[in-house]
Structure 1
Amino acid sequence: MIIRERLKKLVLILDEQKLYEDVHMQDGNSAVKNFFRTQHNGTLSCFPYIRNIDLTRLHIIRDLYNRLWELTAHVNRNFGFSLLTNVGNDLLAIISNSYWIFINFNNYSNTMEQLLQSTSNALLSLPHMFNVLSLALLCEETLQKTTEIAYGLHNLETCMPNNHQYNIVIEQFSLQLLHQKITFSAAGFFNINCRLLYSIAGATTTYLIILIQFQMSGDRVPQNCTISTDNV
């Protein structure tokens, strides 16, 4: 959540940077443009003061993003194993509770005890589902902020087509976003995002089918053993 909030502020800063360029560079009646016309013989080819401010702000944004990337690496390095055990425990709990719900409904005899057991298993699964859902959505929302930063950089580049130095810094920042991707992983085994929900749903279905097959085959084995014993 801390990283997400910091990325939100970076996105807002980039949006303000774009609005600043729109106001001062595209408005024909701008006082700033008129000032530089008088200072540079009626031309708008050089904006040293505005350029220095923009470059300074963009360098600060790059440095802040680099620190956030280092913070993400620190989180993955120190809390990756706990995230792995947390998600693994949730997966096992969801699978086991789903299995017992199936067993109760398979042997359902309209008794209050079995109804309470199925209800308790369903309630026990809800906190684990909520834990995985909230974790995946939080990480996915954080990752979307890096995409918004990339979109903001693209808009900034189109606002300043003639400023070579400005575009060089934007290109370097784009490469930084490409190589320093913010991701959250569970000790390197898998990334935590919305795709994790599909993986957990698929794993739950697969293991539940396997357990049901073992249960059905286990119900048939004692009958065969009894028959063979009687024949002997």
Structure 2
Amino acid sequence: MVSVAFKMLNYNPKTNIRSLETLHTLCKTMAILPPVNLCNVEDYKSKYLYGSAAACLLLFSYVYTIYGKIVYVQKTMSVTGFVIDVGSDLTLIVANLISIVGINLMNGNIVSIFLTNMKKIDIDFQYIPSESKHPNIRFVMEMVLIHIYMIIFFTYNLYTWMSTLGMHIYKFFFLKDFQSYYIIVLAMLLRNYAYAIKYRMEVLNGILTRGEWSQTNNICANYSGSASAKIKTKQQWTLKKITKQFTNLTNLIDLYNKIFGWQFVSLYIVIVFNLLLPINLALIYGSGEKDIDGFKYGSELVIVCIMRASLPIITALAIFSACNHATDEIKLTSVISYNLIQELGEVPNDLNYKQELQELALLATNKCPSFSAAGFFAVNYSALFGLVGSITSYLIVLIQFNK
């Protein structure tokens, strides 16, 4: 999953579809995406049986976990600890089921259109990146590290609860780790799609910035705001072609929002509950004054809580940062266009360029879609800061309630 994700950045029409298919293997296995070739219009009947089976498996794991908590630990846990714990499980299962029902079963055809349109954009670009190895290595390292971290966390979590509660109780809870892993995979899928749009927008902004859109135009604006890598273009670009591709890329965001809008809402709630849960547990039981099923915890529980709290933090940063960076890259198009207008002269040919650049700048200003959580809020750094504020407020209420 990891190394393939950023092979999407290579934009080579001959290999891009293979990279996409390899990337989606894990998501298909977990029923996040339909188990079909998403870049072709195919019969989607098989996805309903497969997706329904995966949804039933997730529901079974949820019911199994809740049963164990009600029977074995409810009587020894505080009210806030138990309510938030059950709420954490509920938000996880809802978010995971939304990924199956919303992305797989209901929006599978839209996902296919999304990827097919992305393929068409790649074919139109037809470029060879000169510095593709670095981002690939970076993404590989990012995903390798997060999987190593999760393995360490799951192992330590298993050891802590097995050595205290024992296997006869912990056997009801280990499936929650699978639910948490499911959320991480889902978050990385959303992150990868957002960055796929961003990097394609970088290519377009790079072509616009370097003045590669006309044989007669020798302007190459030294605009330092573009983060695009050096590119060898294989076709002659015009401002009309750039405007068309800009529209195609912004349309990708509209499709993205249709596919993942409600998923963002569910993930937001998951992040809140799964941050409050470990903080609340650490505050109540970390001191060793209270016990769970007769066992008093100390530093080992605090470590588990810190590691568990890091998972929703990673999820939030992965999603919100990717969407924010993609939105910023789209906004950059209007800035680059206005900078190029300032560089042009008053000769007739330049006046024509000015008019087309003005149209592109207005389009980039007026049609600058953002990543949206079903219309409730924009997915960017502002929403991330709002999330921090919400968690802080809820935490203050919990501390007062526990007192």
TM over 0.5: yes
Residue 85 of structure 1 aligns to which amino acid in structure 2?
Answer: S
Length-normalised TM-score, structure 2: 0.43
SS at match of 1:68: helix
Residue 336 of structure 2 aligns to which amino acid in structure 1?
Answer: G
- Equivalent in the alignment of 2:309: 125
**Higher Rg:** 1
Contact 1:21 1:159 in 2 (8 A): no
* Alignment coverage as a number of residue pairs: 188
**Are 1:182 and 2:363 matched, yes or no?**
no
Unaligned runs of 5+ in 1: 27-52, 217-232
Calculate percent identity across the aligned residue pairs: 20
Contact 2:324 2:380 in 1 (8 A): yes
- Which has the higher mean CA deviation after the structures are superposed, 137-146 or 155-164? 155-164
- Equivalent in the alignment of 2:352: 165
**Are 1:15 and 2:229 matched, yes or no?**
no
Report the Cα offset of residue 105 of structure 1. Answer: 4.4
For CA contacts below 8 A with separation 6 or more, give which structure has more relative contact order. Answer: 1
SS at match of 2:374: coil
Deviations 1:126-157 (A, max 9, x none): 11100101111111111221232222111211
Whole-angstrom distance in 2 between the partners of 1:8 and 1:57 = 17
Whole-angstrom distance in 1 between the partners of 2:209 and 2:262 = 37
Alignment of 1:22-171 (within 5 A): 24=218, 57-105=238-286, 113-162=297-346, 163-171=350-358
Contact 2:265 2:373 in 1 (8 A): yes
Length-normalised TM-score, structure 1: 0.72
Unaligned runs of 5+ in 2: 1-194, 221-234
Q: Residues 19 and 74 of structure 1: is their aligned pair in 2 closer, same or farther, counting only changes over 3 Å? A: closer
Residue 15 of structure 1 aligns to which amino acid in structure 2?
Answer: T
- Equivalent in the alignment of 1:202: 389
SS at match of 2:199: helix
SS at match of 1:181: coil
Deviations 1:195-218 (A, max 9, x none): 1221111111100111111222xx
Q: Which runs of 4+ in 1 moved over 3 A?
A: 18-26, 105-109
Whole-angstrom distance in 2 between the partners of 1:91 and 1:136 = 14
Whole-angstrom distance in 1 between the partners of 2:312 and 2:354 = 47
Contact 2:335 2:361 in 1 (8 A): no
Whole-angstrom distance in 1 between the partners of 2:217 and 2:244 = 26
SS at match of 1:17: coil
Deviations 1:147-173 (A, max 9, x none): 322221112112223132221111111
Report the Cα offset of residue 23 of structure 1. Answer: 7.8
Whole-angstrom distance in 2 between the partners of 1:103 and 1:112 = 11
SS at match of 1:79: helix
Deviations 1:60-95 (A, max 9, x none): 111111011111001101211112112211111011
Q: Residues 21 and 106 of structure 1: is their aligned pair in 2 closer, same or farther, counting only changes over 3 Å? A: farther
Report the Cα offset of residue 106 of structure 1. Answer: 5.7
Report the Cα offset of residue 193 of structure 1. Answer: 0.9
